[in-house]
A = this chain, B = another copy of it.
Amino acid sequence: MRFQRKHILGLGELSAEEIKLILDTAESMKEVSERDVKKVPALKGVTVVNLFFEPSTRTRSSFEIAEKRLSADVLNFTPAQSSVVKGETLLDTARNLEAMGASVIVIRHSMSGAPWLLARELSASIINAGDGSHEHPSQALLDLFTVREIKKEIRGLKVLIVGDIAHSRVARSNIWGFVKLGAEVRLVGPPTMIPRDIEKLDVSVFYNLEEAIRDVDVVMMLRIQKERQESGLFPSLREYSKFYGLTRDKLKLAKDDVIVMHPGPINRGIELSSEVADDVHSVILDQVANGIAVRMAMLYLVASAGGTE
């Protein structure tokens, strides 16, 4: 099978086979990161633009390192230093970057759907690095990669996602991915944080963490947005932490070889106790490390598909 897509926008539209192809490609890329010289000339002379309208350490840096390991020419576009101040539209900005020779645009934007808009209007390859509370495909792909690497097979695993499901693009992309690859997905969080009708995506919903966590293979904690507290979605951080924070005691209810995941950055002592964040079940830093290989694979695949159109 060859990867036919010019863009990677979301897990919602990728088939199980396409997802597996990305993960298999990431395995080869991981091998590059273990070499003495961690660099391949795959994207030499290809200009990749990181177009980030929201602040980010992990995702932008991870893409940037991945791009440089592929020998791409990297341009970071950060709105504060840019024409956005002058009121230019997103589309004009992107068209200009394309005219300057950008072959791949990695975009993060607060507006759900922004990457699809660019994919429709531009001829460059678009990678979604997070759009609103919609999708975050590179995060879900690195999560799938990490789980597959440790558990060998995703089919049949019990995967629990904990927290503010309604506002999480990480949750949304992971639901698509794990369900497509045959896992049983459970969600848990306060009722205000679970979207209506989410069961249609073939997941089961819980409101009690102790109950939801029984026998699961994977616990994926979401980051709580402290800013959300004022909006009345939950009474207090302390209250939230008491019911939905992951502690060692609650973790004992899961399978013995359960793994704990988090997309970072962690709020220690809120959604995750510090001892859980740092203990043997935690694969949080493996996720970060695998992010490089997965993003290298995404970049490589869209650039190759784009080149042969």
Contacts and interface: CB of A to CB of B under 8 A. Distances in A.
Interface of A: 33, 35-39, 44-47, 49, 52, 55-58, 60-62, 64-65, 68-69, 73, 75, 77-78, 80-89, 92-93, 95-97, 99-101, 226, 264-268, 285-286, 288-289, 291-292
A292 B100 contact: yes
Contact of A46 (B38, B57, B88): B38
7 contacts: A37-B45, A55-B82, A58-B96, A58-B100, A83-B265, A88-B266, A100-B289
Contacts of A37: 44-45
Contacts of A81: 52, 55-57, 60, 78
B101 A65 contact: yes
A46 to B, nearest CB: 7
A45 B68 CA distance: 9
A101 B33 contact: yes
A87 B47 contact: no
A35 B45 contact: yes
Contact of A64 (B64, B65, B75): B75
A117 B218 CA distance: 32
A175 to B, nearest CB: 24
A86 B227 CA distance: 10
B100 A83 contact: no
A92 B265 contact: yes
A291 B96 CA distance: 11
Contacts of A286: 99
Most buried by B among A100, A226, A285, A286: A100
A44 to B, nearest CB: 6
A65 B85 CA distance: 21
B265 A57 contact: no
Nearest to A289: B99
A92 B284 CA distance: 11
A36 B47 contact: no
A73 to B, nearest CB: 4
Contacts of A86: 55, 265
A79 to B, nearest CB: 9
B289 A101 contact: yes
Given A55-B85, A99-B285, 14 more contacts: A38-B45, A39-B44, A39-B73, A45-B69, A57-B93, A57-B96, A65-B73, A83-B265, A86-B265, A88-B265, A89-B268, A96-B288, A99-B289, A101-B292
